[in-house]
Amino acid sequence: MSLRTWSILLLNFLLVGVLPIIPALAYEQRPLDYYQNDIQVNTGLGGYDNVGSEGPVETASRAINILLGLLGTLTLCLVIYAGFLWMTAQGNEEQAKKAKDILSGAVIGIVIILASYGITNYVFRSLVNITN
């Protein structure tokens, strides 16, 4: 094998094998009573007395935000794929047109995702303010 092949293999090993382990090595495990001062329990009228429990509005808001985050990630993957197609077209007009179509669809998709995030964020904040 050539030197270039070995350097590519080493780079892939570092990026895929070593880089994801670094945050786990930097994690410092602390005892549970370290976090006791951060936990607040709302036991007032209509409140929740279980630590970590949320109301239905907060749960729905979190679920929608997770879904929109996944859609945003999918859109980013489409943009990267379209860019790859466009860069490797090498004068092939059909492949370049396909890449432009995917890219324009992804841009329209990200605009829709951002608008829906703004609308749902506004609606759920209004619901939380009204109910509290």
- Percentage of residues in the chain having pLDDT higher than 70: 64
Mean predicted confidence (pLDDT) in 87-101: 91
Residues 16-36: tens digit of each pLDDT: 666 666 666 666 666 655 555
Q: Residue ranges of the alpha helices (H) in 29-92?
A: 56-87
Helix, strand, coil shares of the chain as percentages rounded to 5?
75, 0, 25
d(CA 69, CA 95): 29
pLDDT (average), residues 94-110? 92
pLDDT of residue 95: 92
Domain boundaries, the chain: 3-131
Q: In Å, how far are 27, 87, 114 from 104, measured between CA atoms?
A: 41, 16, 15
Q: How far is CA 113 from CA 6, 12, 78, 86, 128, in A?
A: 42, 33, 14, 24, 22
The pLDDT of residue 62 is above 50: yes
Per the CB < 8 A criterion, the answer to whether 88 and 95 are in contact is yes
Question: How far is 43 from 81, CA to CA, in rounded Å?
Answer: 50
Highest mean pLDDT among 43-47, 76-80, 127-131: 76-80
Q: What pLDDT is attached to residue 97?
A: 94
Q: What pTM did the predictor assign? A: 0.55
- pLDDT reading at 112 higher than 80: yes
Q: What is the pLDDT, as a whole number, of residue 49?
A: 47
pLDDT of residue 127: 81
